[in-house]
Amino acid sequence: MGRFLTDSTGLTVTGYIPRLAEGVPHNEDGVGGMHLYMPWWLDNKALDFPRGYHIEISGGRRAPSYGILGGIERVNGAGGYGKQLKDDYRKYYGSTVSFAGRGEMVPNDDSYCEIDPVVVDKYGIPVLRFHFKFTEHERLQAKHMQETFREIIHEMGGTPLTPMPAAEEGYGLATGGRIIHEVGTTRMGDDPRTSVVSGHCQAHDVKNVFIADGGPFVSNADKNVTWTILALSMRTSEYIVQARNQRLL
Ligand SMILES: Cc1cc2nc3c(=O)[nH]c(=O)nc-3n(C[C@H](O)[C@H](O)[C@H](O)COP(=O)(O)OP(=O)(O)OC[C@H]3O[C@@H](n4cnc5c(N)ncnc54)[C@H](O)[C@@H]3O)c2cc1C
């Protein structure tokens, strides 16, 4: 219990694409995440890390929303004030493209949670204490993301808006928990010695306890987690109904 906590690996590289600047305002609501997604495409045998990642692409002249138009100084190199700033917003709006990688982390012994021996919540219930470490697998995957996204931006005639992070910075790999796809800690499996729940998400030790969330994940594939959580919880619900009808619960 508590072992093999994982999160998706992740980082984003944004590029300024001059050919997209000074465009005519028009509706590009469908551009990016709505319509573009690049699944993993390479063979790991030829790479220096296991598993893969997908790419989420965003950009375009969508309807402005909260938080939009920030960071213009990364594009015009100056920021600005008044008319010049407004003109720059019009000029550069929609001229950046972002590539976000979301990849698979390999479960490891240093990433787990446990009951804190000291700290309790306001009800006096002990809180969870988390331990988390990425390994070279994830750092090399992040390096590959960085190099790939930067190459795509250059091929588009653009310039990445941030420098390539160094190895000491984990190649920009987001801290564990930042991608908010935490799963694991009540691993699924047939063997009660190495897993917490069965294939029906039923606790090996307590038959009327089912864990219908991300806990039973054995790994954290590069796909975002929620659809699989929903599929597993539906499957678990169906099993509970079936088991109840057969008087097994
Ligand atoms: C901002 C954000 C964006 C995300 N975007 C995506 C995405 O685009 N795609 C994707 O696949 N995933 C995404 N995720 C991840 C996804 O939302 C979660 O992995 C998923 O919701 C987890 O489901 P869960 O049922 O395990 O936990 P939760 O949805 O967190 O449900 C846990 C429930 O337990 C309740 N609870 C907690 N403690 C107690 C208690 N003591 N007693 C009773 N109830 C309790 C909580 O109130 C909560 O309702 C995102 C997450 C966040 C935070």
Show the domain range for 219. Answer: 186-245
Task: Clarify whether residues 94 and 206 are in a common domain.
Answer: no
Task: Clarify whether residues 158 and 55 are in a common domain.
Answer: yes
Task: Clarify whether residues 19 and 95 are in a common domain.
Answer: yes
218 found inside a domain: yes
240 found inside a domain: yes
Domain boundary among 172, 198, 231: 172
- Across residues 34-58, what is the average pLDDT? 93
179 found inside a domain: no
User: What share of the chain has pLDDT > 70, as a percent?
Assistant: 100
Task: Clarify whether residues 155 and 214 are in a common domain.
Answer: no
Task: Clarify whether residues 142 and 199 are in a common domain.
Answer: no
Residue 127 has pLDDT above 80, yes or no: yes
181 found inside a domain: no
Domain boundary among 147, 172, 197: 172
What pLDDT is recorded for position 29?
83
Domain count, the chain: 2
24 found inside a domain: yes
Ligand 1: distance of its center to the CA of 229 in Å? 10
Tell which residue, 240, 219, 190, 209, has the closest CA to residue 106: 219
Model confidence pLDDT, tens digit, residues 47-71 = 999 999 999 999 888 887 787 778 8
Q: Kindly state the tokens that stand for 143.
A: 């390096």
Task: Clarify whether residues 86 and 196 are in a common domain.
Answer: no
Ligand 1: distance of its center to the CA of 221 in Å? 17
| Window from 23-32, 51-60, 136-145, 195-204 with minimum mean pLDDT | 23-32
- Across residues 169-197, what is the average pLDDT? 97
* Ligand 1, atom 41: closest residue by C-alpha: 125
What pLDDT is recorded for position 202?
97
Nearest atom of ligand 1 to the alpha carbon of 214: 26
Task: Clarify whether residues 159 and 118 are in a common domain.
Answer: yes
Model confidence pLDDT, tens digit, residues 215-235 = 999 999 999 999 999 999 999
Task: Clarify whether residues 162 and 205 are in a common domain.
Answer: no
Ligand 1: distance of its center to the CA of 184 in Å? 13
Ligand 1: distance of its center to the CA of 181 in Å? 9
Out of 178, 225, 234, give the residue to mutate to test ligand 1, the one with the largest number of ligand atoms within 8 Å of its CB.
Answer: 225
Nearest atom of ligand 1 to the alpha carbon of 224: 11
Residue 245: HSE in the Cβ half-sphere, 13 Å Cα cutoff:
6
Ligand 1: distance of its center to the CA of 165 in Å? 31
**170 phi/psi in degrees, rounded to 5:** 65, 25
What pLDDT is recorded for position 141?
98
Task: Clarify whether residues 90 and 145 are in a common domain.
Answer: yes
Ligand 1: distance of its center to the CA of 232 in Å? 14
pTM of the model: 0.91
Residue 81 has pLDDT above 80, yes or no: yes
Task: Clarify whether residues 111 and 200 are in a common domain.
Answer: no
- Across residues 162-177, what is the average pLDDT? 96
Domain boundary among 128, 150, 172: 172
- Is 77 or 32 the better-scoring residue by pLDDT? 77
Residues at CB less than 6 angstroms from ligand 1: 180-181, 213-214, 224-226, 229
123 found inside a domain: yes
State the chain's mean pLDDT as an integer. Answer: 94
16 found inside a domain: yes
Residue 41 has pLDDT above 90, yes or no: yes
What pLDDT is recorded for position 234?
97
What pLDDT is recorded for position 34?
72
Task: Clarify whether residues 32 and 152 are in a common domain.
Answer: yes
What pLDDT is recorded for position 25?
82
Q: Kindly state the tokens that stand for 201.
A: 């998400």
Confidence of residue 43 (pLDDT cuts 50, 70, 90): very high
Distance CA 249, CA 246 (A): 8
What pLDDT is recorded for position 243?
96
Task: Clarify whether residues 140 and 50 are in a common domain.
Answer: yes
